[in-house]
Amino acid sequence: DKIKITLSNNGFNEHYSNSLYSKEDIKLNLTNKAIKLRNPLNKEFEFLRNNMFAGMLKAISYNLKRNKNYIKIYEIGCIQVKNDSNYNKSDEKRQITVAWVGEKLKHWKYPNYIDIYTVKGEIKLFLQNVGFSKISFQYKEKDKINVSVNSRAIGKIEFLNKNVLLKYDIDSKEE
């Protein structure tokens, strides 16, 4: 509850997405092998989710189409990863996924801007508020930043490429 309260107090809205994904949705994370259902409802719901990105991207697309141009959402949930060595052939991993969308929130006096410094600052504030210290950020690749606490990797900041955004009908602006 502390995590949800901290995020909500900092302007984030909680999102719940379906835990059943399509073949296209599971491709967003190829490192986690997805589990296919034996008797799926249809092609859109034939895998247990192996990532939380697809649900977030669908929510972002939905809101952008309704002129919500400044979005801060999070989801806390589980993903399922195939593991043939387990008795049930899967591992369940609990995760938190957070998304920022938009350039600025209009305000009569002081607009809020979203940039990498805002994102890093909000992540650091969040981690401090839930009791962590010694937070660091390491730039590993062009579009990825690792987040560590006490020199242990706990997450990453990732900028999605235009092809992924277009797949979910999200218009990305040229920089």
pLDDT in tens, 10-64: 999 999 999 999 999 999 998 899 999 999 989 999 999 999 999 999 999 999 9
Closest by Cα among 105, 94, 52, 72 to 6: 72
Cβ atoms of 28 and 164 within 8 Å: the answer is: yes
Q: What is the pTM assigned to this prediction?
A: 0.87
Check: CB of residue 98 under 8 Å from CB of residue 125: no
Q: Give me the percent of the chain exceeding a pLDDT of 70.
A: 98
Beta strands in 1-134 (DSSP E): 13-14, 20-21, 35-36, 47-48, 71-82, 90-101, 104-105, 112-113
Put residue 8 in one of left, alpha, beta given phi > 0 → left and psi -120 to 50 → alpha. alpha
